[in-house]
Amino acid sequence: MVMRRRMAYSVICQTLDHQAHLWAFVNNFRLFGLLALGGTPLIFLFKRIEREPARSGSALTAPMAAKW
């Protein structure tokens, strides 16, 4: 009788542990989803970098100037 009770408690403990791990995964998934959605508007706060036109006399920018 004692052995069956221990086995039953063991099954209940394993099931509860499995459910807790699954619920923790769901909570983390929701958190990262909300962080991604909340961080998306930050893109519009960044300033766009303007490029300077390449100088044709420079040795480093000559190959790039030919492509433009």
pTM assigned to the model: 0.55
Q: Where are the domains of the chain?
A: 2-67
Q: Are 56 and 65 in contact (CB under 8 A)?
A: yes
What is the per-residue pLDDT for 51? 83
Chain segment 4-62, per-residue pLDDT in tens: 999 999 999 999 999 999 999 999 999 999 999 999 998 888 888 888 876 666 555 55
The span from the CA of 42 to the CA of 40, in Å, is 5
pLDDT > 70? residue 66: no
Task: Give 68's contacts (C-beta < 8 A, 6+ positions apart).
Answer: 54
pLDDT > 60? residue 67: no
pLDDT > 90? residue 68: no
